[in-house]
């Protein structure tokens, strides 16, 4: 199932990236959904190419019923991002992989933070897949709206976080 989301932000790519790599922001986003940030690892200097890995324990009460059959009250979601060095205008891209422990759902995507006249555009393009024969497509289709909502929450909270920190 295709995953496509984008939003325009009034912050430069450098400001967006500083927020996305802030452990406090990751904890804030995780707390909003009732989860716990279990791991936050930043490898490399963010002025160049770097990697970011997070593991969150999130409640399954909002997950599709079909997926809840495989897990308990919470599930660990691992997100790995491999970010490029910035372009001359500060734009960057990352290869993103998301796995969910106990649920055969994976996300493989490219996330971009592109400079615009008004600030930046945050874009995610990728695929949600599931490896369960016959049901995989249904699980991926059911998971996609939840992943899209999570991306929208991140973008909305990025603006809130930057306003609060200013």
* Per-domain residue ranges of the chain: 2-165
27 φ/ψ angles, rounded to the nearest 5 degrees? -65, -40
Give the model's confidence band at 15: pLDDT under 50 very low, under 70 low, under 90 confident, else very high. Answer: very high
**Highest mean pLDDT range out of 51-65, 76-90, 151-165?**
76-90
Q: Which tens digits make up the pLDDT trace of 105-127?
A: 788 999 999 999 999 999 989 88
What is the predicted pLDDT for the residue at 64? 62
Question: SS3 helix, strand, coil % of the chain, rounded to 5?
Answer: 30, 45, 25
The answer to pTM > 0.95 is: no
Mean pLDDT of the chain: 86
Architecture of domain 2-165: 2-Layer Sandwich (3.30)
Biggest distance spanned by C-alpha atoms of the chain = 50
Helix (H, G, I), strand (E, B) or coil at 85: coil
Q: Which tens digits make up the pLDDT trace of 47-65?
A: 999 999 999 998 877 666 6
What is the predicted pLDDT for the residue at 136? 61
Cα–Cα nearest to 3, from 110, 81, 103: 110
Average pLDDT over residues 138-153: 69
Q: How many CB atoms lie within 10 A of CB 100?
A: 21
């Amino acid at each position: 199932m295709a995953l496509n989301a984008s939003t325009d932000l009034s912050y430069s790519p450098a400001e967006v990236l500083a927020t996305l790599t802030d452990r406090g922001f990751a904890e804030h986003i995780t707390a909003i959904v009732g989860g716990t940030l279990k791991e936050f690892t930043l490898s490399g200097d963010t002025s160049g190419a770097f990697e970011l890995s997070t593991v969150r324990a999130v409640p399954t009460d909002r997950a599709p019923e079909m997926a809840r059959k495989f897990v308990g009250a919470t599930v660990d979601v691992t997100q790995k991002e491999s970010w490029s060095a910035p372009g001359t205008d500060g734009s960057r891209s990352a290869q993103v992989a998301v796995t969910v422990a106990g649920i055969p759902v994976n996300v493989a995507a490219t996330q971009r933070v592109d400079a615009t006249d008004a600030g930046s555009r945050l874009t995610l393009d990728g695929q949600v897949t599931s490896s369960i024969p016959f049901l995989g497509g249904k699980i991926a289709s059911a998971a996609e709206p939840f992943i899209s909502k999570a991306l929208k929450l991140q973008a909305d909270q990025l603006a809130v976080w930057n306003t609060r920190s200013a």
